[in-house]
């Protein structure tokens, strides 16, 4: 099965993630450590250059201390 790209959705999700992170005063590095991810990967997500897996979305919600729905409601 061919890998699908959804650049517009990835960009929108990344922008929303960045707004949530900044509104909580959390740095890329701190969020990365809370989610056990590399901060460069979080940067790629926020810039829409990374297709996020569901498990990563769940970790990001935990790291931001927000309900999963809030992270996906943009």
Q: Is the pTM of this model over 0.85?
A: yes
Domain spans, the chain? 7-72
Cα dihedral 23, 67, 70, 68 sign: positive
CA distance 73 to 36: 23
| CATH class of the region 7-72 | mainly alpha
Considering only residues 12 and 6, tell me which one the structure prediction assigns the higher pLDDT. Answer: 12
What pLDDT, in 10s, does the model give residues 19-74?
999 999 999 999 999 999 999 999 999 999 998 999 999 999 999 999 999 999 98
CA distance 27 to 51: 21
Task: Say how far residue 40 (Cα) sits from the centre of its chain.
Answer: 12
């Amino acid at each position: 099965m061919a890998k699908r790209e959804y650049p517009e959705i990835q960009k929108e999700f990344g922008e929303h993630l960045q707004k949530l992170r900044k509104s909580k005063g959390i740095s890329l590095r701190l969020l990365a450590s809370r989610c056990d991810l590399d901060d460069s990967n979080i940067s790629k997500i926020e810039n829409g250059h990374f297709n996020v897996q569901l498990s990563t979305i769940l970790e990001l919600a935990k790291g931001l201390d927000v309900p999963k729905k809030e992270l996906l409601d943009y």
